[in-house]
């Protein structure tokens, strides 16, 4: 009797793994349909310039309006999209959307708004990346200086020579680059000094430790001062409280992004938001 117990729990685990694998396959099939069936939507989260208190740009964040499960966030399906390779066509679709909205923003009287798009590891290593992005921005006929691509340290450091070549090629077309989730990887800004990076985004895990950990304060101070000495601007992500905002302002952080100011929102809501407050009333 006692000996059967471990066996039972083993089978239980086995079944769990099985269900998980099945769940992944289902998600993958659903995601394939989602891209074809208009279930994917891009949300936009404003980024505020602390000096001018104006919306400097927006980050494009993918959402999935799943017919049964409702709104699904990217943390749930980006890993599936990444493993299956679906992230490649999905990623190009997001860039197309960003270009389309960029033109609309211009028409609505917001001509200088920067649109930031996330690029995942697999997208960045797609052989046709530079030529596909070139084709998208050429067809969209946008001001390329308003398009920014966000990459993580690990995506850039996997093959530094490749990264350097791609970033330079795209940078020559006017596209700028931001280093996303900065501080969570193992590289340092000095490893990245040969890359055309104009912005670092401090990971929200550090911002959210402000007030709870002296280390977080030191790390944020150090990132800002090093970035500025390299002529790189700094955005703090995940700003939720006035205390965090005040600290970042004192440290001369350039921009903030976070729920304190605004959440990611559908395009129509962003337009209302911009119309109602060109300036950041709450700051
Ligand atoms: P990320 O690029 O670091 O994006 C910032 C994330 O922080 C977003 O989560 C945003 O909603 C969230 N955030 C912003 N302000 C706050 C705040 O004050 N508090 C908290 N708790 N969170 C805040 P989201 O939209 O769930 O996206 C998660 C990640 O999924 C993104 O992290 C990005 O890595 C990835 N992702 C989103 N859209 C795309 C896409 O189109 N392509 C690719 N490759 N990845 C994407
Ligand atoms: Mg990002
Ligand atoms: Mg980030
Ligand atoms: Mg993140």
Q: Identify the band that residue 217 occupies on the pLDDT scale cut at 50, 70 and 90.
A: very high
Answer yes or no: is pLDDT of 207 > 90.
yes
What's the gap in Å between 118 CA and the centre of ligand 2? Answer: 5
Distance, CA of 96 to CA of 232 (rounded, Å): 27
Whether residue 256 has its Cβ less than 6 Å from ligand 1: no
Distance, CA of 151 to CA of 119 (rounded, Å): 6
- In the prediction, which pLDDT does 194 show? 85
Answer yes or no: is pLDDT of 278 > 60.
no
Q: Residue 208 CA to chain centroid, in angstroms?
A: 17
Distance, CA of 99 to CA of 250 (rounded, Å): 34
Whether residue 236 has its Cβ less than 6 Å from ligand 1: no
- In the prediction, which pLDDT does 48 show? 96
Q: Which tens digit of pLDDT belongs to each residue from 82-122?
A: 999 999 999 999 999 999 999 999 999 999 999 999 999 99
Q: Which tens digit of pLDDT belongs to each residue from 15-72?
A: 444 557 777 888 889 999 999 889 999 999 999 999 999 999 999 999 999 988 899 9
Token pair of 180 as six digits = 């996303």
Answer yes or no: is pLDDT of 189 > 90.
no
Whether residue 96 has its Cβ less than 6 Å from ligand 1: no
The protein residue with its alpha carbon nearest to ligand 1, atom 35, reads: 74
- Atom of ligand 1 minimally distant from the CA of 239: 18
For 152, the 3-state DSSP assignment is strand
- In the prediction, which pLDDT does 282 show? 53
Which residues fall within 8 angstroms of residue 142, CB to CB, at 6 or more apart? 99, 102, 103
Is 258 within 8 Å of 204 (Cβ atoms)? yes
- In the prediction, which pLDDT does 21 show? 75
Q: Which tens digit of pLDDT belongs to each residue from 223-275?
A: 999 999 999 999 999 999 999 999 999 999 999 999 999 999 999 999 999 99
**Per the confidence metrics, is the pTM higher than 0.90?**
yes
- In the prediction, which pLDDT does 168 show? 96
**CA-based R_g, the chain, Å:** 21
Return the C-alpha torsion angle 139, 140, 142, 144, nearest 10. Answer: -60
pLDDT average, residue stretch 163-190: 89
Q: Residue 121 CA to chain centroid, in angstroms?
A: 12
Q: Which long-range contacts (CB under 8 A, 24 or more apart) does 179-182 make?
A: 179/150, 179/151, 179/152, 179/153, 180/118, 180/150, 180/151, 180/152, 181/152, 181/153, 182/153, 182/223
Distance, CA of 223 to CA of 76 (rounded, Å): 30
Q: Ligand 1 pocket: which of 74, 76, 255 to mutate (most atoms <8 Å of CB)? A: 74
The protein residue with its alpha carbon nearest to ligand 1, atom 12, reads: 238
- In the prediction, which pLDDT does 11 show? 41
Answer yes or no: is pLDDT of 12 > 70.
no
* Conformational region of residue 263, where left means phi above 0, alpha means psi within -120 to 50, and beta covers everything else: beta
* Residue owning tokens 């990971």: 203
- In the prediction, which pLDDT does 283 show? 58
Q: What is the DSSP letter of 221?
A: H
- In the prediction, which pLDDT does 10 show? 40
Query: Terminus-to-terminus CA distance in the chain, angstroms?
Result: 66
Token pair of 177 as six digits = 């680059």
């Amino acid at each position: 009797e006692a000996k059967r117990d471990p066996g039972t729990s083993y089978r239980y685990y086995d079944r769990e793994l099985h269900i998980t694998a099945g769940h992944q396959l289902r998600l993958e099939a659903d995601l394939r349909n989602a891209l074809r069936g208009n279930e994917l939507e891009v949300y936009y989260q404003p980024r505020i310039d602390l000096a001018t208190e104006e919306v400097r740009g927006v980050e494009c964040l993918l959402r999935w309006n799943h017919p049964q499960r409702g709104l699904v966030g990217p943390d749930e399906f980006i890993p599936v999209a990444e493993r299956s390779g679906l992230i490649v066509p999905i990623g190009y679709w997001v860039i197309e959307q960003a270009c389309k909205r960029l033109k609309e923003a211009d028409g609505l009287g917001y001509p200088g708004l920067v649109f930031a798009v996330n690029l995942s590891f697999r997208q960045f290593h797609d052989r046709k990346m530079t030529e596909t992005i070139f084709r998208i921005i050429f067809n969209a006929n946008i001001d390329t200086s308003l398009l920014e691509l966000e990459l993580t340290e690990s995506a850039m450091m996997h093959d530094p020579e490749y990264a350097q070549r791609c970033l330079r090629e795209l940078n020559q077309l006017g596209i700028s680059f931001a280093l996303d989730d900065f501080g969570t990887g193992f590289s340092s800004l000095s490893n990245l000094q040969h890359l055309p990076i104009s912005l670092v985004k401090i990971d929200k895990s550090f911002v959210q430790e402000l007030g709870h950990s002296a280390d977080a304060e030191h790390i944020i101070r150090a990132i800002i001062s090093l970035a500025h000495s390299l002529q790189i601007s700094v955005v703090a992500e995940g700003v939720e409280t006035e205390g965090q905002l005040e600290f970042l302002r004192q440290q001369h952080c350039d921009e903030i992004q976070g729920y304190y100011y605004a959440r990611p929102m559908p395009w129509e809501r962003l337009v209302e938001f911009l119309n109602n407050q060109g300036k950041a009333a709450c700051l």
